[in-house]
Amino acid sequence: MQYFKMSKGQYAEFVKKKSPNSNTFVDTLKAFLVGGLICCVGQALFMLYGLLDLSKDLRGTLMSMTLVFLGALLTGLGAYDDIAKFGGAGTLVPITGFANAMVSPALEFKTEGLVTGTGAKMFIIAGPVIVYGTSASVVYGLIYWLVSTL
């Protein structure tokens, strides 16, 4: 209850003592390196799909889908959190950060069940537009790929 009796200045001092110190230069460098590495993986995927003699548009689509899948997979395995602890904001900028932001809330409610927990909370927290847009783009991408290869 002592926290409620603090003045604004006392509270600011208390927060300053409890907050971890950070080295802005090192944190920025880590974010740059991790974000850059994720982007390099994306470029490598784009070039790899080029070896399959696919169009530039299709390579871009497949690269984006692969990065979203990898981001969701790493989040589900708990590895994305470790990467984010090291790389900070570098994990938020690329497309994998989007996948992490979508999968993380759903995982928090998995104990409530697959439908009423994960499924329902994914729509509530991540937002219907994001979930629908991602799901529709995957389905559309697969249909487009199937039709274009026939």
The residue among 8, 41, 20, 7 whose CA lies nearest residue 88 is: 20
Angle at 71 between CA 117 and CA 53, to 5 degrees: 130
Alpha helix positions (H), 1-150:
8-18, 24-50, 56-77, 79-87, 95-108, 120-121, 128-149
Mean pLDDT score of the chain: 83
Of 41, 26, 30, 130, give the one whose Cα is nearest residue 89.
30
Model pLDDT for residues 23-52, shown as the tens digit of each residue: 889 999 999 999 999 999 999 999 999 999
Q: Which of 111, 103, 112, 116 is nearest to 76 (CA)?
A: 103
pTM given for the model = 0.65
Give the pLDDT score at 67.
Answer: 94
- Report the alpha-carbon distance of residue 103 to residue 74 in Å, rounded: 10
Q: Is 92 helix (H, G, I), strand (E, B) or coil?
A: coil
What is the C-alpha to C-alpha distance for residues 66 and 131, in angstroms, rounded to an integer? 16
Task: Give the pLDDT mean for 108-131.
Answer: 63
Per-residue confidence (pLDDT) for residue 114, from 0 to 100: 64
52-66: pLDDT as tens digits: 999 999 999 999 999
